[in-house]
Amino acid sequence: MNEKIVFFDIDGTLLTEEKVLPESTKKAVRMLQEKGIYTAIATGRSPQMFEWILEELHIDSYVSINGQYVVFEGKEIYSNPMDLSLLNDLTSMVESNGHAIAYCHDHHITVNEENHPLVLSSYNSLKINYPPVSREFYKQTSVFQGHLFCQPQEEETYIQRFPECSFIRWHEHAIDILPKGCSKAIGIGKMLDVIGISNENCYAFGDGLNDLEMLTSVGIGIAMGNAVPEAKAAADLITTSCYEDGIFNGLKELGILV
């Protein structure tokens, strides 16, 4: 039998808006594992932001930081740090504009400003504490992604200034900053190469703007019922929402679970 793997986004897919992991989702993941199907996370979050989910679901493989840092069965298999000169330029512009930026390492996040209201509201939405403050962190270690905190109307100046980057909004006041061309799909490809699973036997569930490449690149992409319109348009299948057993129902509709 051909081996299969299923990737799951976290926010709005595995977790509800209240950051609750539904019982039906726990059951679905457990049933996949009992059938010998690989299960993995694919998220924009840094690993330390979802350790509890890995433990709860007994998962040890993940594509994190929007494809920038990939682990298979507990071992790092791919990492793609951002260029230091780019981070210097980003930081200079952010600070001159009075905005804030966070630096995402594989096991740490720091932010350049204390008690910034947009940082607070953005991370509160994920139920994550305000990160430690450091203006030197990005100069001393690998940074895989930035989080820019600004008003929606202020984003365009950064897009124009840094065409070599992708800017993906995940909150009213927060944007992922990645090198252009990087995505969850790249990280998934790295993992498939290591395992030796064909793309046609790869499935992915997602709901957000940072899931578009993933949903179109895998064998079958499944959008949650609560997904943004762009994700639904990119998917092969639309399941019910994360509040309505969407993962379990999607796997049943595909015939993977019965």
Q: What is the pLDDT along the chain (258 residues), one digit of tens a residue?
A: 479 999 999 999 999 999 999 999 999 999 999 999 999 999 999 999 999 999 999 999 999 999 999 999 999 999 999 999 999 999 999 999 999 999 999 989 999 999 999 999 999 998 899 999 999 999 999 999 999 999 999 999 999 999 999 999 999 999 999 999 999 999 999 999 999 999 999 999 999 999 999 999 999 999 999 999 999 999 999 999 999 999 999 999 999 998
Secondary structure letter of residue 170 according to DSSP: E
Cβ-proximal residues to 9 (8 Å cutoff; 6+ apart), any chain? 41, 42, 43, 184, 204, 205, 206, 207, 208, 211, 214
The domains located in the chain, with CATH, are: 5-79+182-253 (3.40.50.1000), 84-179 (3.30.1240.10)
Choosing from 9, 11, 106, 211, the catalytic residue is: 9
Q: Number of helices (H) and strands (E) in the chain: give both, helices first.
A: 10, 13
Instruction: Answer yes or no: 9 catalytic.
Output: yes
Whether this prediction's pTM lies above 0.75 is answered by: yes
Element (H, E) at 61: none
Per the structure block, which two tokens stand in for 106? 């594989």
Distances (CA, A) of 250 to 13, 191, 244, 246: 11, 23, 11, 6
